[in-house]
Amino acid sequence: MILYLRSRRVGAAIIALGALATATILIGGRALTLAPDGVPVSMPYRAVLPLFSAALAVASLDSPVPQIDRTDTGPLQRVRHLHLLAALTVTLGLSALTELFTATGAPALAVRGSLCWFGLALISGVVIRMSFAWVIPLVALAPLIRWGWTTEGPEAWNWAAAPSSDLDSWLLAVGAICLGGIAWMRSTTRRGGPRFTGPRQPRLAVESAAVVR
């Protein structure tokens, strides 16, 4: 377990997540003013910083030897599932705790945003690679900035800033994490163990050949 945690640099990821949580407390209430349509729109930093926290948590799943991960269906795969669950729990927990130290104090809103960012990051990690978990969330940030805010406030589907009572934003967040979870499970099932179409070979020989490849 210790070797696994060191190979994924989990300690460094925890420190970075703590730094992002501190930054959210200190500057999360400040607004970033953008004008995508020529009309100024204010977007709080706390709506964007969880993106990087989720991407960082998912990126900690990146393996230094992905070939071994693809051929393992036993203890290593179970540890990776536990790692994913722990990363999600820490991400949501930190997002809720940081809100308790801010003026707004909306943990449900923070959890919803982190849930959606984590799902998008997980999809990105499965489709591309875990170390590139930030790609799809950053792509999703563009339409969020472009259409997610109006002069009157955030849209109802805006998972990062809409009031916690808006159902559309919750459906979007739950959909994102469900798609991410399905993609993760399919990838681990697909990669779990080598596949052979030829005659059945002795188990030891098959596993040795998979490791060599």
Q: How far apart are CA 206 and CA 213, in angstroms?
A: 11
- Checking if the pLDDT of 201 tops 50, the result is no
User: pTM for this structure?
Assistant: 0.81
User: What residues have CB less than 8 Å from 125, skipping those under 6 apart?
Assistant: 58, 59, 61, 62, 131, 132, 133
85, pLDDT greater than 90: yes
What is the domain count for the chain?
1
- pLDDT interval class at 117 (50, 70, 90): very high
Instruction: Give the model's pLDDT for residue 104.
Output: 65
Contact 94, 111 (CB under 8 A): no
Q: Phi and psi for 106 in degrees, rounded to 5? A: -125, 75
Average pLDDT rounded to a whole number, residues 181-199 = 63
What gap in Å lies between CA 193 and CA 190, rounded to an integer? 8
Domain that includes residue 178, residue range: 2-212
Residues 6+ apart with CB under 8 A from 38: none
Q: Among candidates 181, 183, 159, 160, which has minimal Cα distance to 170? A: 159
